Amino acid sequence: MYKILKAEMIAEKIYLNVVEAPRVAEHCLPGQFVITKLDEKGERIPLTICDYDREAGTVTIVFQVVGATTQKMAALKAGDAYEDFVGPLGRPSDLTEEPIEELKKKKIVFVAGGVGTAPVYPQVKWLHEHGVDVDVIVGAKTKDLIMYEEQMKEVAGNLYITTDDGSYVRKGMGTDVLKDLVENQGKKYDHCVAIGPLIMMKFVCKLTKELGIPTVVSMNPIMVDGTGMCGACRIAVGDEIKFACVDGPEFDGHLVDFDQAMKRQQMYKTEEGRAMLALQEGDTHHGGCGNCQ
């Protein structure tokens, strides 16, 4: 069992857990993920590592309530525990493998969308700790969905925040900010990392391709075993089929087939809906029709 030391809501429907997992904390690097399971029969949920403390032996995860399992996870409190907390899985960010002196020569920008801010943070923090300052754009639909603002300010060279509805700082998408920085403010970037919803990453990559900025994205498709055996997390990258769990989660964004990835993401919507109905309707539930009384 993996004990939860801290559990809190940090934005609307977005929750943070600090989990006691010393072996994961000892070996993980920014960009990697864990797979959590609430109990013996629970669903496996892949979550990118948001932060870690090797001395304390803790790993921080952040998740958004989108289905029955994450709804149950939102109810967890300090002192509760996960049955399984497997990791670190996947490959670390390529940035952690480059020589630091080479990284210091690069102009790097991160574009985070919604809960994608969580996996962006450890990369920016790692770079800051190694003397590399980067620009970070954080976007969300509304002010209530902005997260990790203060933590990001401490590690980002420049932080730009935008909201779709204009309820906080400025109105517009992350792509609007990036385009403004490059075309109107004279910024030049050698590398971009975009993490967030598939549709957001797709349009960031469309823009960066036009601007000539190499771009990496972090893919988080449906996973089962997390070891490359089931094939559920397959994505098309250029002319190749890759598995996000072992080949990623980061890939060249200009080669990812986002349209195919979005279609695959819809494949399990019926099962997810039935699971949520079962949770909501309890003993009265008998099949997922939505009309149970």
pTM of the model: 0.84
Closest by alpha carbon to 111, among 210, 218, 4, 16? 218
Q: What is the pLDDT of residue 216?
A: 94
SS (H, E, C) the chain: CEEEEEEEEEECCEEEEEEECHHHHHHCCCCCEEEEECCCCCCCEEEEEEEEECCCCEEEEEEECCCHHHHHHHCCCECEEECEEEEEECCCCHHHHCCHHHHHHCCEEEEEEHHHHHHHHHHHHHHHHCCCCCEEEEEECCHHHCCCHHHHHHHCCEEEEEECCCCCCCECCHHHHHHHHHHCCCCCCCEEEEECCHHHHHHHHHHHHHHCCCEEEECCCCCCCCCCCCCCCEEEECCEEEEHHHHCCEEECCCECHHHHHHHHCCCHHHHHHHHHHHHHHHHCCCCCCCCC
Q: CB atoms < 10 A from the CB of 177, how many?
A: 22
Query: What is the band of 4 on the pLDDT scale with cuts at 50, 70, 90?
Result: very high
Q: Which tens digit of pLDDT belongs to each residue from 119-173?
A: 999 999 999 999 999 999 999 999 988 988 999 999 999 999 999 999 988 999 9
The predicted pLDDT at position 276 comes to: 55
Can you tell me the mean pLDDT for 27-52? 90
Q: Which CATH class is domain 94-218?
A: alpha beta
Angle between helices 258-265 and 198-211 (to 10 degrees): 180
pLDDT band at 283; cut points 50, 70, 90: low
Q: Is the pLDDT of residue 221 over 90?
A: no
Taking domain 2-89, whether its CATH number is 1.10.10.10 is answered by no
- According to DSSP, the β-strands at 191-195 and 108-113 are parallel
Q: How confident is the model at residue 66 (pLDDT cuts 50, 70, 90)?
A: confident
Would the pLDDT of 208 be above 70? yes
Domain locations in the chain as residue ranges = 2-89, 94-218
The phi and psi torsions of 250 (rounded to 5 degrees) equal: -95, 140
pLDDT of residue 293: 47
Q: Is the pLDDT of residue 261 over 90?
A: no
